[in-house]
Amino acid sequence: MHFESFEAFLQMGKHGAYVWSAYGISFVLVGLNVALAVRAQRQAKEDVKRFARREMADANKS
Amino acid sequence: MWQTLTRWYHQWGSPRYFFQYSGVLLPWLWPLAVLTLVVGVVWGLAFAPADYQQGNSYRIIFIHVPAASAALLGYIAMGVAGLVGLVWRMKMADIMIKAIAPFGAVLAAIALITGAIWGKPTWGTYWVWDARLTSMLLMLFLYLGVFALMNAIPDPRQAGRAASLLSVVGVINVVIVKYSVEWWQSLHQGSTLKVVGESAMPSEMLAPLLISMLGIYLFFACTVLMRARTEIMVRERKSQWLREVLR
Amino acid sequence: MACYTAAALKGTLVTELPLLETTDLYCERDDRVLFSALNWRAVDGEIWQVAGVNGAGKTTLMRILAGLHGFFDGEVRWPRWLAQQQDPRQHFLYLGHKAGLRDELTPLENIRWWTSLHGDTVDDAKIFPALACLGLAGYETVPCAQLSAGQKRRVALSLLWIMNKVVWLLDEPFTALDADGVTLIENRLREHAANGGLVIYSSHHRFDDAVRHVRLALGEVEVA
Amino acid sequence: MSFRATLKREVVLAWRRPAEIINPLFFFVMVVAMFPLGVSPKADLLSVIAPGVVWVAALLAVLLSVEGLFRNDFEAGALEQMLVAPTNLYVPCLAKIIAHWLLTGLPLVLVAPLLGYMLHLPEQASMTLFLGLLLGTPTLTAIGAIGVSLTVGVRSGGILLALLILPLYVPVLVFGAGAAAYAANGAPVEGLLAILAAMLLASLTLAPAAVAAGLRISNGG
C-alpha cells in the first residue's frame, strides 16, 4: 500500500480532489450507461412477451 | 484455419445463434470484466508509486488512457462492422453498430473529462488545445454524429445501414483527423510537455494500466453484447425462436 | 416450385424462361405485414395489375421490383436475364409515384436527362412525335412549372413511346389523367404486351379482363 | 454519357435558379464581415486571424449550399430515376458534385483574396489562400455530398448534416488555414498545398461511391 493511512489515501497529497472527481464522474457515466442498457433490455423482453400474448389472444379469438 | 473463420462468421452472423451464445457467455463475462477493472483501478490508485514530477495526479491515467483507447477501438470496430454490413448486407453488422455507439460515446466523454481534470494540476487550466484532447473531442463529435443519424431515421434497418456508411467514412477520417491535429499542434505551440510517455513508464505503473485497459475492454464487450441482444429482441420480436428462448 | 439459379438454367431454352419470378416474398413496414409468401411468375406478353386498398403496399412492391427498396425477405429474380448474365435494370422502365420532372426544366430537357441515364442517346426526332402523340405539341420548351399535373404526368408517360424497354413498372400511371389520356395509355399498354413486353402497373383501375392481377389485402396475397 | 448530360442539366438548373449561386456568396462575405465587428478592427490582430476566418466562413458556406444538392431531385422524384437507371450511379453523383462546386464553390474561391485583403491579410499570403481554397472547396463539397446523401430523406436535415460533416472537415480546415498562415509568415507552403491536393484527389475519387451508396440507403435500399 503506497499510502501510510487511509486519510493520506483520500488526500493523495493535495491531488485527491482531482483524482476522485475524475473517477467519480467516470463511474457515474458508466453506471448510468449500464443502467440504461439493462432497462432497455428488460423493456424489450417485456415487448416480446406482450406481443406473444397478444398473438395468442388473436389466435384463440379467430 | 479459413474454414473455421467462415464458419464462425456465418454462425455469429445469424441473430439467433448470436443471441443464444451471447446468453451463455454473458454470465461469465460480466464478473470477469468487473473484477479485472476493479483490480486494475485499485492497484493503480492505491498501490502504484507516485510520479516524481506530478505526485499523485497522474493516477487519473488509469481511467483516462483505457477510456481513450477503448473509444478509438470502438469506433474502428464500428467502421469494420459498417463495412461488413454494407458489403455483405449482414443483419448482425447493423445491430453491432447500434450496440457499440452508446458506450463508445460515453468512453470518449470520460476520456475527455478525465483528461481535462488531469490538465488542471499539470498545466494549470482545465482545457488546453493539446493534440490528444482535441482529437478526443473530435472523436466524441464523430460518435454523436452516428448517434444523431441513427435517431433521425425512423426505420431501424435503414438507420442501421446509414450508420454503417457513416462509420466507414468516419473511420477513414479518424486517422486523417488524428494526424492533422498532431501537425496542427506542432504548427502552433511546438511540442508541449508530454503528459506521461506510456513506454517510459516504470513497470509498477505499467502493470495496473494494462490491467485496467483489459478491464475496460471486457466491460465494453459486455455492454456491446447486452445491447446487441436487446436490439435483436426489438427486431425479431415476432419470430418464433425468440419466444421459445425467452419462455 | 422450380427455383431458377444460374447453374440450373444452362440447359433450358432462354425464351421459355419467365421474365419475373418471386419466391415467398415477404415485406413488413413499421410492424404491419404488407404481404407474405408472394409467389408470382410473369412471362412476356402479360399485363399485371397490382391492386389493393390504400396503404396495402402497392408502391412498396413496385419499388422492390425496381430494385429501389431492399428491406424484404424472399427472392425477386429475373431468370431470363440471369441466364444471360445481364443486369435486368437495362430492360426496366420505371415510372414512380411522383412525375420525376424538375419544374425549372422544360419537358425536352427532362426527357433528355432521363434517357441519358439509360445510356442511349435519343435524338429529338423521337421525342417530339411522342410528346405530340400525348397532346403536348408546342409545350416541348415550356418550363414544366407551367404545366398542369395531368400534363406533367403525360410528359413522364411519354417515355413509354420514346424508350424501348421490355419490362414496364408503372406506379399509379393513370393518376391526374383525363378520360382520353387513360384510353391512350391503355392502348399503349396493350400494344406493348402484344409485341412481347411485360407491363406491371399499380392502380385501382382495371381496364381489361385479360389483365391479370396481384391483390394485396393487408398480409394475404391473391395472384390471379 | 450521363456525366455530360447531368453536368449540363445542373448548369441549366442553376441558371434558372440564380439564388442558389448568389446566396452562399452573400453568406460567405457577411460571415467574414462579422469578425472585424465582433473581434476588433485593428490590422495587426485581424491579419493573424484572417486565414482562419476566411476558411471557416468558406467551409460553412459550402456546408449550407451543399444541403440542397439532392433535396429538389428527391422531392420531384427525379432521384428515383437516377437510382433505377442501369448506368453506374457513381457517374451522375460525380457530375453533380463537380457541377455544384463549379456553381457555388468557385465563386467563393474567386472572392476569397478580396476578403483576405479586407482582413489585412499580408500580400504574400493571398495567393496561397486562393490556391488553398481552390484545392479545398471541392473536397469540402465532396465530403458534404456524402452527408447530404444520408440525410436527404430526413426532415431536420440542416443541423444533422452539420453534426455529421463538420468533424470530417477538420483536416481540410487545418491544412488550408495552416498553409495560408505559413505563407503569411513567409514560410514555404508547397508541402501543405500538396497535402490539400492529395485530399482533393482522394475525396473526388472515393466520395461519389459513398454518395451513391448513401442515396440508395436513404431511398429504402
Q: Model confidence over C129-185: pLDDT tens digits? A: 888 888 888 888 888 889 898 899 999 999 888 888 889 999 988 888 888 888 888
CB-CB contact of B118 with B243 (8 Å): no
**H or E element: which one contains C76?**
strand C73-77
Q: How far is A56 from chain B (nearest CA, A)?
A: 12
pLDDT band at D143 (very low <50, low <70, confident <90, very high): very high
Q: Which residues in chain A touch residue B120, judged by CB atoms under 8 angstroms apart?
A: 18
**For residue C2, is it within any domain?**
no
Rounded Cα distance between C80 and D7, Å, is 35
**For residue C7, is it within any domain?**
no
**For residue B143, is it within any domain?**
yes
Q: Which pLDDT does position C15 carry in this prediction?
A: 65
Mean pLDDT of A39-46: 90
pLDDT in tens, D34-79: 999 998 888 889 989 999 999 999 999 999 999 888 988 898 888 9
HSE, CB side, 13 Å, CA atoms: give it for residue B240. Answer: 0
Q: Which pLDDT does position C5 carry in this prediction?
A: 47
Q: Which pLDDT does position C14 carry in this prediction?
A: 60
**For residue B121, is it within any domain?**
yes
Domain that holds residue C187: 18-223
**For residue C170, is it within any domain?**
yes
Q: Which residues in chain C touch residue B154, judged by CB atoms under 8 angstroms apart?
A: 30
Q: Which pLDDT does position B217 carry in this prediction?
A: 94
Q: Is the minimum CB–CB distance between C72 and chain D shorter than 8 Å?
A: no
CB-CB contact of B120 with B187 (8 Å): no
Q: Which pLDDT does position C6 carry in this prediction?
A: 47
Amino acid at the residue D116: G
**For residue C132, is it within any domain?**
yes
Answer yes or no: do B238 and A51 touch at CB < 8 A. yes
Q: Which residues in chain D touch residue C104, judged by CB atoms under 8 angstroms apart?
A: 12-13, 16-17
Q: How far is D169 from chain B (nearest CA, A)?
A: 9
C-alpha cell at B39: 483490480
Q: Which pLDDT does position B223 carry in this prediction?
A: 93
**For residue B205, is it within any domain?**
no
Mean pLDDT of D194-218: 94
HSE, CB side, 13 Å, CA atoms: give it for residue B131. Answer: 20
Q: Which pLDDT does position C2 carry in this prediction?
A: 39
**H or E element: which one contains B138?**
helix B131-152
Structure-model confidence comparison of residues B74 and A14, the more confident one: B74
Q: Which residues in chain B touch residue C30, judged by CB atoms under 8 angstroms apart?
A: 154-155
**For residue B125, is it within any domain?**
yes
DSSP string, C201-223: EE-S----TT-EEEEEETBEEEE
pLDDT score of C17 more than 80: no
Interface test with D, best of B138, B147, B149 (most D CBs within 10 A): B149
pLDDT in tens, B170-194: 998 888 888 888 888 777 665 444 4
Q: Chains near A, with 3+ CB pairs < 8 A? A: B
Q: Which pLDDT does position A62 carry in this prediction?
A: 65
pLDDT band at C4 (very low <50, low <70, confident <90, very high): very low
**For residue C5, is it within any domain?**
no
**For residue B113, is it within any domain?**
yes
Q: Is the minimum CB–CB distance between B14 and chain C shorter than 8 Å?
A: no
pLDDT score of B200 more than 70: no
Percentage of residues in chain D with pLDDT exceeding 90? 63
**For residue B20, is it within any domain?**
no
Mean pLDDT of B86-91: 85
Average pLDDT across chain A, whole number: 84
**For residue C6, is it within any domain?**
no
pLDDT band at C3 (very low <50, low <70, confident <90, very high): very low
Q: Which pLDDT does position B35 carry in this prediction?
A: 93
Domain that holds residue B71: 57-191+212-247
pLDDT in tens, B36-48: 999 988 888 878 7
Q: Which pLDDT does position D208 carry in this prediction?
A: 95
Answer yes or no: do D167 and B173 touch at CB < 8 A. yes
pLDDT band at A39 (very low <50, low <70, confident <90, very high): very high
Mean pLDDT of C85-105: 87
Q: How many C-beta atoms surround the C-beta of residue C78 within 10 A?
A: 24
The total of structural domains in chain C comes to 1
Rounded Cα distance between B106 and A26, Å, is 9
Q: Which residues in chain B touch residue D206, judged by CB atoms under 8 angstroms apart?
A: 172
pLDDT score of B225 more than 50: yes
Q: Which pLDDT does position C134 carry in this prediction?
A: 87
- From residue C125, alpha-carbon distances to C112, C132, C191 in Å are 12, 11, 21
Give me the residues paired with residue C49 across strands: C201, C213
Q: Which pLDDT does position D26 carry in this prediction?
A: 94
HSE, CB side, 13 Å, CA atoms: give it for residue A61. Answer: 6
Answer yes or no: do B49 and A2 touch at CB < 8 A. yes
Q: Which pLDDT does position C124 carry in this prediction?
A: 79
Average pLDDT across chain D, whole number: 91
**For residue C118, is it within any domain?**
yes
Rounded Cα distance between B34 and B187, Å, is 42
CATH number at residue C195: 3.40.50.300
Average pLDDT across chain B, whole number: 85
pLDDT score of B196 more than 60: no
Answer yes or no: do D76 and C70 touch at CB < 8 A. no
Average pLDDT across chain C, whole number: 83
Judged by DSSP in three states, C35 sits in strand
Task: For Cα atoms B157, C203, C176, give the angle at the middle one, nearest 5 degrees.
Answer: 105
Q: Is the minimum CB–CB distance between D205 and chain C shorter than 8 Å?
A: no
Buried residues in D80-114 as b, exposed as e (16+ CB within 10 A): bbbbbbebebbbbbbbbbbbbbbbbbebbbebbbe
> pTM score, two decimals?
0.87
Angle at which helices D190-218 and B156-189 cross, to 10°? 170
Rounded Cα distance between D151 and B163, Å, is 11
Phi, psi (deg, nearest 5) at residue C215: -100, 125
Listed residue (B100, B95, B81, B102) closest to B235, CA to CA:
B95
Q: Which residues in chain D touch residue C112, judged by CB atoms under 8 angstroms apart?
A: 5
Q: Would you give the DSSP letter of residue C89?
A: G
pLDDT in tens, B150-176: 888 888 888 889 999 999 999 988 888
**For residue C136, is it within any domain?**
yes
**For residue B15, is it within any domain?**
no
Q: How far is D16 from chain B (nearest CA, A)?
A: 32
Mean pLDDT of A47-53: 85
Listed residue (B188, B235, B173, B232) closest to B22, CA to CA:
B232
